[in-house]
Chains A and B, each alone.
Chain A
């Protein structure tokens, strides 16, 4: 893989199917970038949770709103952005799902999982409103990740201009 920044983005409908679509697309990029099976799982799960968050909490499942997904592949890491069209939120306002009183909550674990599975994670205000999740995973050192043989041929991101 060439050590140049590559950029891929897509606009998703606010619907359940977008969750699988986003996960599959990012999995292909991750596999093409050389991530091993475990890291691909963590990246795929994080993208899934990010889009679920945008679908459910950000856009309130309103179909007229969009979810904006972007992936940047640099020489060092894979960076994923998930932007919704909601009212935004602060990370500090998100309840801790590991707190005793929240253990039996039926929701609220998505942010926790993204934080656990990615190397870097943050939520920032979107440029046009909403919340933007920004998370990244360091690329494996050359030769350190086992090839897993899945996909990849159609995953080449567009070169950034």
Chain B
């Protein structure tokens, strides 16, 4: 498995801790399954912690966007925390850095949902 995902509740926000690679195949599929599973459980405030994600390809970027849209469509919010340099650079050159709310501090990120 190229990606590992665990999630924890912080009040009404669910923090998803991801580690590994979000790439074509298992990584993208696991991210999709995780977000869809949270939405099925009525968890609509989602913070993706990408501190240990060191690699994302175009498939992974697409899955982040797909998750963002799916959550928005249910009147929720999906935000990003602790981007690595490579991931931040990728989001910047694809102009997605302006689409996502991105945080470097978990407390600030959690408060932004209220």
Contacts and interface: CB of A to CB of B under 8 A. Distances in A.
Q: Which interface class (under 10, 10 to 19, 20 to 34, 35 or more) fits A?
A: 10 to 19
A106 B96 CA distance: 12
Interface string B94-108: 111001000000000
Q: Which of B58, B68, B93, B95 has the most A CB atoms < 10 Å from its CB? A: B58
A97 interface: yes
A128 interface: no
Interface residues of B, number: 20
Contacts of A98: 94-95
B58 A110 contact: yes
Interface string B1-45: 000000000000000000000011100000000000000000000
Contact of A104 (B57, B69, B86): B69
A34 B45 CA distance: 46
Interface string A78-106: 00000000000000000001100001111
16 contacts: A16-B24, A19-B24, A48-B24, A52-B57, A97-B94, A98-B95, A103-B96, A103-B99, A104-B69, A106-B69, A107-B58, A109-B58, A109-B94, A113-B58, A113-B90, A113-B94
Interface of B: 23-25, 57-59, 61-63, 65-66, 68-69, 86, 90, 93-96, 99
